[in-house]
Amino acid sequence: EKRNAGESEFLQAVREVLESFEPVVEQNPSIIDTGVIDRIVEPERFIQFRVSWVDDNGKVQVNRGFRVQFNSAIGPYKGGLRLHPSVCASVIKFLGFEQCFKNSLTGLPMGGGKGGADFDPKGKSDGEIMRFCQSFMTELSKHIGADTDVPAGDIGVGAREIGYLFGQYKRLRNEFTGVLTGKGLSYGGSLARKEATGYGLCYFTDEMLKNMKNDSFKGKTVVVSGSGNVAIYATEKATELGGKVVALSDSNGYIYDANGINLDVVKQIKEVERGRIKEYADRVEGAVYTEGCRGIWSIPCDIALPCATQNELNGEEAALLIKNGVMAVAEGANMPSTPEAIEAFLNAGVLFGPAKAANAGGVATSGLEMCQNSMRYSWTFEEVDAKLHDIMVNIFHNAYNASKKYGMEGNLVAGANIAGFEKIADAMIAQGVAY
């Protein structure tokens, strides 16, 4: 705790994982002597750098950029880039730490990393975004590569930003490689990558409902928070699987539509116009907008899918969801539920899919994009989607079986942590104490 003083998000993530290792240590006390637990919580490398760029008024702006290369035991570092004013060392380290276990769970050979900057893309012109991305990549390019570290998108980094980052990398290095994922289809992107996290979340949730409650999305009322990439495609798949999504949000407020969200309107507002979710209520009759994003958890629902950001659902909000009869919660965002919320769900017998497992579809499909780039070949949408589905089903069963093996049947938080850990620990031990 002293070594990472003040890094509250990172400490929260590490605490949760270490708690779930207790039964593993009880069954295999010798694991302590390998030092693997001490090593796994310390990043292999942490890079912080200045990003200066010129805004539209000719003024020089300065941001802080980061890349954490957390663990490369099972493959090249892999994890997204986040552009948001809240980005700091603690946030990047918590995300990088979680990413290691998530990537391991996918079954693909990917280590863990994460990066970003405290740059706020809101209200910036296209030219400003491009200049920022070029400056950011000028430094980042010294540390990444198709076989070393492969970044992707996250909050504030979508297809446009990946394009500018890729263009700058190519200009600096004079090589066309799969150094980033989430690329456009015309230059090496994978079909179904855009949809993957949201779709994967619903495949995982469906498998969890089927195996643990003999149930499905059919006829269920669903609340999804956020209205970004993950939220939009979770809404699309939940609807396709027979659920009715009645709410979406952004950091200002939420919309409620008792008839079920009209996703064409949402896509027009968010993906084409880059507008605010509030505008939905102006365009769809009967829909209501309420200021304040946290009120979304007061809407009664059967399934809740938090898809916005970390710590967006606390203990009180969890209690409200439980009181209103929620049966399943699955995390599309990273660490959206506070420890108090998770405890409340587990104690109440609500099915709970933790982020590491439930939102791994995005990085899994990034892994499939790397695979296609290496082969210089592209699979069809259906081929990628089918592989994604299989991966999510496997992740559920791996997490569930690990929870059973260590006497916590159905606790997928512990199950996912343990299943992800076992493969990394095995590889680290096999490779010796290198660093």
| Binding-site residues for substrate | 78, 99, 102, 153, 366
Structure tokens that stand for 281 in this block: 């209520």
Q: Closest CB to ligand NDP belongs to which residue?
A: 228
Residue 155 binds ligand NDP, judged by CB under 6 A: yes
What sign has the CA pseudo-torsion 195, 313, 238, 207?
positive
Residue 331 binds ligand NDP, judged by CB under 6 A: no
Of 63, 190, 359, 373, which lies in the binding site for ligand NDP, with binding defined by CB under 6 A? Answer: 359
Tokens 């898809």 belong to 307
* Beta carbons within 8 Å of 227's beta carbon, 6+ residues apart: 248, 249, 250, 266, 270, 277
Q: Alpha carbon of 52 to those of 11, 139, 173, 350: distances in Å? A: 30, 11, 20, 47
Q: Are 359 and 380 in contact (CB under 8 A)?
A: no
CA atoms of 95 and 46, how far apart (whole Å): 13
Binding to ligand NDP, residues 244-273 (CB under 6 A): 250-252
Q: How far is the CB of 366 from ligand NDP (least distance, A)?
A: 8
Q: How far is the CB of 392 from ligand NDP (least distance, A)?
A: 13
Q: How far is the CB of 108 from ligand NDP (least distance, A)?
A: 14
Of 308, 357, 370, 384, which lies in the binding site for ligand NDP, with binding defined by CB under 6 A? Answer: 308
Number of residues that bind ligand NDP (CB under 6 A): 24
Residue 156 binds ligand NDP, judged by CB under 6 A: yes
Of residues 128 and 312, the one with the C-beta less far from ligand NDP: 312
Catalytic residues: 114
Of residues 159 and 408, the one with the C-beta less far from ligand NDP: 159
Of 112, 163, 226, 253, which lies in the binding site for ligand NDP, with binding defined by CB under 6 A? Answer: 226
Q: How far is the CB of 13 from ligand NDP (least distance, A)?
A: 12
Of residues 69 and 309, the one with the C-beta less far from ligand NDP: 309
Q: Are 193 and 181 in contact (CB under 8 A)?
A: yes
Residue 224 binds ligand NDP, judged by CB under 6 A: no
Of residues 155 and 414, the one with the C-beta less far from ligand NDP: 155
Tokens 């099972």 belong to 74
Of 69, 309, 337, 417, which lies in the binding site for ligand NDP, with binding defined by CB under 6 A? Answer: 309
Q: Are 99 and 133 in contact (CB under 8 A)?
A: no
CA atoms of 323 and 318, how far apart (whole Å): 9
* Sequence-ordered alpha helix ranges (H) in 328-431: 339-347, 355-358, 361-375, 381-405, 412-430
Residue 427 binds ligand NDP, judged by CB under 6 A: no
Structure tokens that stand for 201 in this block: 């979340």
- Beta strands across the sheet bearing 77-83: 45-54, 60-71, 112-117, 77-83, 149-152
- Can you say which residues are annotated as belonging to the binding site for NAD(+)? 197, 229
**Under the rule (CB under 6 A), what is the footprint of ligand NDP?**
153-156, 197, 226-231, 250-252, 293, 307-309, 312, 332-334, 359, 362
